Chain A
Amino acid sequence: MIDILRLWRADPIVRFEALVREHEAAIYRVAFRLCGDRDEAEDLIQETLLEAYEAFGKFAPGTHFDRWVFRIMRNTYIDRVRRRPKVRIDSLDAGVQTDAGQTVPREIIDVSSEPDVQIMARTLDGPIQEALQALPEEFRTVVILADIEELSYEEVAKVVGCPVGTVRSRLHRGRAILKEKLKKYVRF
């Protein structure tokens, strides 16, 4: 109790850091599953935590710090995706224009034949993450929070900011899509 009081009277950054340390595994897990990429996840966490620190005055002591951070993380993620420059998608079948103006067939490197990718493919984590990335963001977030972080429907609804009924249907549709995506790896 004295520790809690001492911590609460401490500098905000000290209190904030202590709370982040307590939840760092969950924060990393959600960021990684949301982004599907380590570098991107780490950038997302740092941006989220700076945002969260700025808004730390709004955090209600005694409530779940991790859920509060997830809500900020989700908004930050959506902003990052929106900010991301639109990429031009070329057909792999189309040829490539050379400097001389000639069109030559495109050389495609098959990364799936590389040993480390093969190793990753053998473990199921790769396909699961791949399947998660195939989900629209609103389904992915709900699946991550409910099925990986094991939050209740009500808690997910608060993080995402939608009714519980919407969480229920998004989770059902998300799982159905995942099942289809994982069919080639797992016998259901």
Chain B
Amino acid sequence: MECERCNHELSAYVDGKLTTREARQVREHLACCRRCREDVEEIQKVRGLLRGSATPQPSPAFWAETYSKLRDHGAQHRPRRTLGRWASAGWATAAGLALALIVFLTPPQLSPAPVETERTVNPATLVSLHATMRADTPLSDLGKVRYALTEANAIDLSDDARLDSD
């Protein structure tokens, strides 16, 4: 580390504000530079003088006068109404909670059942289709009807069945 660069870091070094790497570089430089070592001592002394300097004392009636002025001022004025950090954070939280409540308390909207649209099929087409099927598989109609009867109601289609078998 160069002497000049190191010198700029010495105050922060004395305050323990350098990163581990920076502090190690400064220590390495200090080990071989007497001038910078002296600078470190001087910075420590200046800092010590400031920290140990006397605490100035106000004039005897100063604080009593100051509080009296403050109270007079306070009797006539109130602090400006501003949204402080807490207030704005409070409003943001309240708004978020309200939104969450609306979302969670609203009953889920069931998707409406699709309305069956009445199919309009030409009866002639149905008859023609049925005739074609019957010609291809003559027993299918009878089988379907018998199956339906055993499952649901007992409508006697024997005549029809006989007709079919004929």
Q: Mark B74-96, 1 if CB is under 8 A from A, else 0.
A: 11011111101110000000000
Check A28–B41 contact: CB distance below 8 A: no
Residues of chain A with a CB closer than 8 A to B77's CB = 53-54
Query: Does B30 sit at the interface, judged by CB under 8 A?
Result: no
Check B81–A179 contact: CB distance below 8 A: no
The secondary structure that dominates the B interface is: helix
Expressed in whole angstroms, the Cα–Cα distance for A186 and B51 within the complex equals: 15
Contacts A12-B79, A57-B79, A61-B86 given: A175-B59 contact, CB under 8 Å? no
Check B11–A58 contact: CB distance below 8 A: no
Taking the closest CB of chain A, its distance from the CB of B130, in whole angstroms, is 84
The secondary structure that dominates the A interface is: helix
Check B58–A53 contact: CB distance below 8 A: no
Query: Does B73 sit at the interface, judged by CB under 8 A?
Result: yes
Expressed in whole angstroms, the Cα–Cα distance for A41 and B17 within the complex equals: 31
Q: Mark B35-52, 1 if CB is under 8 A from A, else 0.
A: 000100111011101110
Query: Does B54 sit at the interface, judged by CB under 8 A?
Result: yes
Stretch binding the partner chain, chosen from A71-79, A92-100, A102-110, A147-155:
A147-155
Taking the closest CB of chain B, its distance from the CB of A126, in whole angstroms, is 10
Check B42–A53 contact: CB distance below 8 A: no
Contacts A46-B66, A153-B15, A188-B42 given: A60-B73 contact, CB under 8 Å? no
Residues of chain A with a CB closer than 8 A to B84's CB = 57-60
Cβ-closest chain B residue relative to A129: B53
Check B53–A38 contact: CB distance below 8 A: no
Residues of chain A with a CB closer than 8 A to B12's CB = 153, 168, 171-172
Taking the closest CB of chain A, its distance from the CB of B67, in whole angstroms, is 6
Q: Which of B90-149 contact A (CB under 8 A)?
A: none
Check A182–B62 contact: CB distance below 8 A: no
Check A25–B55 contact: CB distance below 8 A: yes
Taking the closest CB of chain B, its distance from the CB of A75, in whole angstroms, is 16
Cβ-closest chain B residue relative to A143: B50
Query: Does A178 sit at the interface, judged by CB under 8 A?
Result: yes
Taking the closest CB of chain B, its distance from the CB of A107, in whole angstroms, is 31
Check B56–A38 contact: CB distance below 8 A: yes
Query: Does A50 sit at the interface, judged by CB under 8 A?
Result: yes
Taking the closest CB of chain B, its distance from the CB of A41, in whole angstroms, is 8
- Residue contacts A-B, CB under 8 angstroms, 10 given: A13-B70, A41-B58, A53-B70, A53-B77, A54-B79, A57-B79, A128-B50, A143-B50, A147-B51, A175-B43
Q: Which residues of B contact A (CB under 8 A)?
A: 8, 10-12, 15, 17, 38, 41-43, 45-47, 49-51, 53-56, 58-59, 62-63, 66-67, 69-71, 73-75, 77-82, 84-86
Apart from A38-B58, A172-B11, A175-B11, what are 19 other A-B pairs with CB-CB below 8 Å?
Answer: A28-B56, A38-B59, A42-B62, A49-B66, A53-B73, A53-B77, A57-B79, A58-B84, A60-B86, A123-B54, A124-B49, A125-B53, A125-B54, A128-B49, A143-B50, A148-B50, A171-B15, A172-B8, A175-B46
| Smallest CB-CB A-B distances: 4 pairs | A13-B74, A172-B11, A56-B79, A147-B50
